[in-house]
């Protein structure tokens, strides 16, 4: 690891590079038409800034720089805030509207069960199948399998909630669950 | 010859309008179902980042130990902790933490999970136990974030599920944002309430995405770990959870209760430092202490690593069973040791904590504005829901008030059940909403009350500790409470000026 003074200088340089990089990206995106060179320059400065912090502090520097990236971006966004007189909504400037879907309690409960329970069952199944059968060290496959669970569950939840067709989502999740639990439990059942 | 003008082909958007609408519908449904839970978990999580500082604020007369002491002092701390635990008849497992793990402090925790008794002490720079730890407010914040004050297992499952819902919302939110780059730096204030809140929601959501993804996934995994290990045990370890846990953490202690000497932890530290000179003591966990079945897990921090510590395990005879460097380069081991620091932001000192605190608050704002957008959309479409507007005002602003009242209660009187104070505060906030004319008035009253109670908590704390506090953290947290009060109250003044210009048509 570098000395304290070098680390401090690298941190400072990293912060300056990150701020400059984000400002360049902002100015590029504010122009009409594409500004690929300027955009790329901005992102490169950001990456170099993050690399400086990582070189100075190792893993903590990397994660702190990524967190700082978000906070710096918030500050730059806030600095460019546009203040308007308070008034009622203008339909022309509103964002995209969600689908207006006819719904009822039965459908809402079915969707909830699908998104929370069945997507969860499928995600846990895939995670456990990975933990049991992946060709890795036992600890590695267990931890990666565990990490897969919330990610797959979240993805499954997002998909089932946006898909208007309940039967399709149910069928796919049931098939995935059956395969995953089959992979996870079959070796044990066959050996006993 | 007339040349026809080139036909401008309209570029197809990356995400089709139908896809975006479907995603938005899913995003709205999920957000509305889990908004309150996500909001409470995120807000309490932003505070939980500072839970160690809050504990110091609550007990600023405790002994301060800034630098990691010599191995013999840590060994003395273990012996003192064991003697104390024996005196209380709970000498089963002992956990020690040094200043790297608990900044400014050396702590001893002992418990007997079979008897359900535990004790926690602060140790001085000589390793002697000085005073029992009392930090009810810090404990309250921690338990609110990790288990919502529900029974431990179910609370953790619910918080884990909340993390999954948050991660899912991030996916659907991102996919329902076709102008993600075009609007990346746009923040419009004023104008229509819906547009203003949507800008804030999207900018904080998109630029904070790396943090949001990391805390939601790690939080979900931490909350659901016991469920995952349980199913894994069924699939691969004949239902034996102990075996599944051992696959991750190494062999557990045995039940051989033959008396044995307390581990010489000083010698263990020196043994690790012989091969890793930069390794520094972070923590130690001795299971089944004082028996022939005991296992010592020594946590040594290595500079440049995000993990709190690398684990070295020693048997009852003091011999090393497993060394952290045996797992060097293993991705699973890295994830396992990085989970907690990544989730709580405890890896880069106070700077890292401040960044995590700011991003945690941003995530709470993203959640809050999500529901506000939905309510504003209803109002724009001529279907206002004033009851739900008030309800959301109570959910949003009873939390800072609840945090402030519990802080004040913890400072005013020892032993007050803070969960009762918290629930009564929420009930009182609901009472304010019933009496108030609309959601906007509810928010104003709750903001004002929150600010006043935060200032009161800081004032009472200064009055109580001004002559005896030795820890500067006491005054830093007091100043932070006053700043929080100012930030909460400031929009009341700004809004008052704005209202003079033009009254928005939508209730907040």
User: Residue ranges of the alpha helices (H) in B14-62?
Assistant: 17-48, 51-58
User: Which of B184, B221, B235 lies nearest to residue A29, judging by beta carbons?
Assistant: B184
Q: Using only C-alpha atoms, what is the Rg of chain B?
A: 26
Q: Where are the domains of chain A?
A: 3-79, 105-191
More confident residue, B117 or A155: A155
Contacts from A134-141 at CB under 8 Å and sequence distance 24+?
A136/B332, A137/B330, A137/B332, A138/B247, A139/B247, A139/B248, A139/B327, A139/B330, A139/B332, A139/B333, A139/B336, A140/B330, A140/B331, A140/B332, A140/B333, A141/B332
pLDDT beyond 90 at A101: no
Cβ atoms B106, B129 nearer than 8 A: no
- On the 0-12 / 13-18 / 19+ scale of CB atoms within 10 A, B481 is buried
* Cβ–Cβ below 8 Å for B235 and A132: yes
Would you tell me which residues 7-46 of chain A have a C-beta closer than 8 angstroms to some C-beta of chain B? 25-26, 29-30
Would you tell me which residues 410-429 of chain B have a C-beta closer than 8 angstroms to some C-beta of chain A? none
pLDDT beyond 50 at B129: yes
Question: Rounded CA gap, B279 and B294, in Å?
Answer: 24
What is the model's pLDDT at position B238?
80
Q: pLDDT confidence of B168, banded at 50, 70, 90?
A: very high
Question: Rounded CA gap, B453 and B444, in Å?
Answer: 14
Q: Indicate if ipTM > 0.90.
A: yes
Question: Rounded CA gap, B213 and A150, in Å?
Answer: 11
Phi, psi of B224 (to 5 degrees): -95, 5
- Which residues, listed in sequence order, are joined to residue B283 by a DSSP beta bridge? B97, B299
Distance from CA of A101 to the nearest CA of B (A): 8
What is the model's pLDDT at position B326?
60
What is the model's pLDDT at position B501?
36
Most confident range, picked from A108-122, B168-182, B439-453: B439-453
Q: Which two tokens stand for residue B307?
A: 């993990």
Would you tell me which residues 49-68 of chain A have a C-beta closer than 8 angstroms to some C-beta of chain B? 57-61, 63-64, 66-68
Residues of B within 8 A of A115 (CB-CB) are 30, 168
Give the rounded distance of the alpha carbon of B460 from its chain centre.
26
pLDDT beyond 80 at B65: yes
Three-state DSSP class for B266?
helix
* B345-385 pLDDT, tens digit each: 999 999 999 999 999 999 999 999 999 999 999 998 899 99
Q: Which two tokens stand for residue B375?
A: 């309510």
* Cβ–Cβ below 8 Å for A149 and B228: yes
State percent of chain B over pLDDT 90: 76
Question: Rounded CA gap, B302 and B272, in Å?
Answer: 11
Q: CA B94, B96, B101: angle at the middle one, nearest 5?
A: 145
How far is CA B31 from each of CA A73, A142, B372, rounded to the nearest angstrom?
Answer: 24, 31, 11
Task: Give the max Cα distance, chain B.
Answer: 106
Would you tell me which residues 102-131 of chain A have a C-beta closer than 8 angstroms to some C-beta of chain B? 111-112, 115-116, 120, 124, 127-128, 131
Question: Rounded CA gap, B390 and B434, in Å?
Answer: 8
Three-state DSSP class for B397?
helix
Q: Which two tokens stand for residue B133?
A: 């730890």
The mean per-residue pLDDT over the stretch B105-132 comes to 94
Nearest residue on chain A to B343, judged by CA atoms? A63
What is the model's pLDDT at position B320?
92
Average pLDDT, chain A: 89
* Cβ–Cβ below 8 Å for A188 and B191: no
What is the model's pLDDT at position A83?
87
What is the model's pLDDT at position A164?
82
Cβ atoms B271, B86 nearer than 8 A: no
* Cβ–Cβ below 8 Å for B304 and A188: no
* Cβ–Cβ below 8 Å for B332 and A144: yes
β pairing state of B129-132 and B188-191:
unpaired
Average the pLDDT over each of A158-167, A181-190, B261-270 and give the range with the smallest value: A181-190
What is the model's pLDDT at position B329?
67
Residues of B within 8 A of A25 (CB-CB) are 184
| pTM more than 0.80 | yes
Interface contact A81, partner B, CB < 8 A: yes
β pairing state of B280-287 and B93-97:
antiparallel
Would you tell me which residues 128-157 of chain A have a C-beta closer than 8 angstroms to some C-beta of chain B? 128, 131-132, 136-147, 149-151, 153-155, 157
* B66-106 pLDDT, tens digit each: 999 999 999 999 999 999 999 998 889 999 999 999 999 99
State percent of chain A over pLDDT 90: 66
Question: Rounded CA gap, A144 and A136, in Å?
Answer: 10
- Closest alpha carbon to A129 in B38, B395, B234: B234
**Helix H or strand E segment including B282:** strand B280-287
pLDDT beyond 90 at B115: no
Nearest residue on chain B to A164, judged by CA atoms? B22
Residue identified by tokens 């239902």 is: B239
User: Which of A82, A153, A188 lies nearest to residue B235, judging by beta carbons?
Assistant: A188
How far is CA B63 from each of CA A36, B106, B124, rounded to the nearest angstrom?
Answer: 57, 8, 5
pLDDT beyond 70 at A192: no
* B433-469 pLDDT, tens digit each: 999 999 999 999 999 999 999 999 999 999 999 999 9
Interface contact B200, partner A, CB < 8 A: no
pLDDT beyond 60 at B310: yes
The mean per-residue pLDDT over the stretch B13-41 comes to 89
* Cβ–Cβ below 8 Å for A139 and B247: yes
Q: Which two tokens stand for residue B469?
A: 């506090």
Average pLDDT, chain B: 91
Q: Please give the DSSP secondary-structure letter assigned to residue B350.
A: H
* A14-63 pLDDT, tens digit each: 999 999 999 999 999 888 777 889 999 999 999 999 999 999 999 999 99
* Cβ–Cβ below 8 Å for B348 and A60: yes
* Cβ–Cβ below 8 Å for A60 and B501: no
**Helix H or strand E segment including A12:** helix A4-30
pLDDT beyond 70 at A91: no
């Amino acid at each position: 690891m570098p000395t304290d003074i070098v680390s401090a200088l690298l941190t400072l340089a990293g912060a300056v590079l990150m701020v400059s990089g984000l400002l360049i990206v902002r100015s590029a995106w504010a122009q009409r038409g594409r500004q690929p060179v300027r955009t790329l320059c901005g992102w490169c400065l950001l990456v170099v800034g993050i690399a400086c912090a990582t070189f100075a502090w190792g893993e903590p520097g990397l994660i702190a720089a990524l967190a700082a990236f978000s906070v710096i971006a918030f500050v730059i966004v806030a600095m460019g805030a546009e203040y308007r007189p308070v008034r009622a909504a203008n339909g022309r400037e509103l964002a995209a509207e969600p689908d207006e879907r006819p719904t009822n309690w039965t459908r809402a409960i079915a969707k909830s069960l699908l998104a929370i329970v069945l997507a969860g069952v499928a995600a846990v199944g895939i995670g456990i199948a990975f933990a049991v059968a992946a060709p890795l060290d036992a600890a590695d496959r267990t931890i990666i399998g565990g990490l897969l669970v919330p990610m797959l569950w979240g993805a499954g939840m997002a998909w089932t909630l946006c898909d208007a067709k309940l039967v399709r989502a149910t069928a796919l999740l049931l098939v995935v669950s059956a395969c995953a639990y089959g992979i996870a439990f079959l070796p044990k059942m066959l050996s006993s | 010859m007339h040349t026809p003008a080139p036909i401008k082909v309209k570029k197809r958007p990356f995400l089709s309008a139908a896809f975006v609408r479907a995603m938005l519908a899913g995003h709205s449904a999920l957000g509305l179902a889990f908004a309150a839970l996500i909001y409470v978990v995120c807000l309490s999580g932003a505070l939980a980042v500072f839970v160690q500082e809050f504990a110091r604020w609550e007990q600023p007369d405790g002994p301060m130990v800034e630098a990691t002491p010599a191995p013999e002092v840590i060994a003395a701390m273990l012996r003192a902790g064991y003697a104390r635990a024996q005196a209380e008849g709970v000498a089963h497992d002992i956990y020690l933490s040094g200043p790297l793990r608990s900044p400014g402090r050396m702590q001893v925790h002992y418990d007997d999970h079979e008897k359900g008794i535990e004790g926690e002490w602060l140790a001085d720079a000589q390793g002697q136990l000085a005073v029992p730890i009392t930090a009810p407010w810090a404990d309250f914040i921690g338990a609110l974030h990790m288990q919502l004050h529900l029974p431990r297992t179910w609370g953790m499952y619910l918080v884990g599920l909340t993390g999954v819902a948050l991660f899912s919302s991030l996916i659907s939110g991102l996919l329902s944002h076709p102008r993600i780059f075009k609007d990346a730096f746009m923040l419009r204030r004023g104008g229509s309430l819906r547009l203003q809140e949507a800008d804030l929601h999207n900018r904080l959501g998109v630029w904070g995405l790396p943090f949001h993804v990391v805390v939601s996934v790690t939080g979900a995994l931490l909350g659901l770990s016991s469920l995952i290990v349980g199913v894994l045990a069924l699939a691969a370890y004949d239902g034996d959870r102990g075996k599944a846990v051992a696959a991750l953490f190494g062999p557990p202690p045995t039940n051989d209760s033959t008396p044995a000497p307390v581990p010489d932890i000083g010698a263990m530290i020196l043994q690790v430092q012989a091969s890793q000179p930069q390794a520094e003591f972070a923590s130690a966990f001795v299971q089944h202490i004082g028996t022939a079945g005991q296992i010592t897990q020594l946590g040594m921090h290595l500079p440049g690593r995000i993990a709190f510590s690398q684990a070295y395990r020693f048997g009852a005879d003091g011999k090393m069973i497993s060394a952290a460097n045996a797992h060097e380069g293993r991705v699973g081991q890295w994830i396992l040791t990085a989970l907690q620091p990544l989730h709580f932001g405890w890896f880069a000192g106070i700077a890292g904590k401040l960044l995590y605190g700011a991003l945690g608050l941003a995530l709470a704002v993203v959640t809050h504005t999500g529901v506000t957008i939905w309510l504003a959309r209803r109002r724009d479409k001529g279907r206002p829901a004033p009851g739900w507007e008030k309800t959301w005002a109570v959910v949003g602003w009873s939390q800072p008030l609840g945090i402030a009242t519990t802080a004040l209660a913890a400072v005013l009187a020892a032993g007050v059940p803070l969960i009762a104070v918290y629930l009564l505060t929420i009930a009182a906030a609901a009472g304010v909403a019933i009496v108030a004319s609309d959601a906007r008035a509810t928010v104003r009253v709750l903001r004002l009350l929150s600010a006043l109670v935060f200032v009161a908590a800081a004032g009472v704390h200064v009055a109580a500790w001004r002559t005896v506090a030795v820890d500067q953290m006491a005054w830093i947290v007091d100043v932070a409470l006053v700043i929080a009060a100012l930030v909460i109250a400031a929009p009341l003044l700004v809004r008052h000026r704005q209202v003079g210009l033009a009254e928005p048509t939508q209730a907040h």
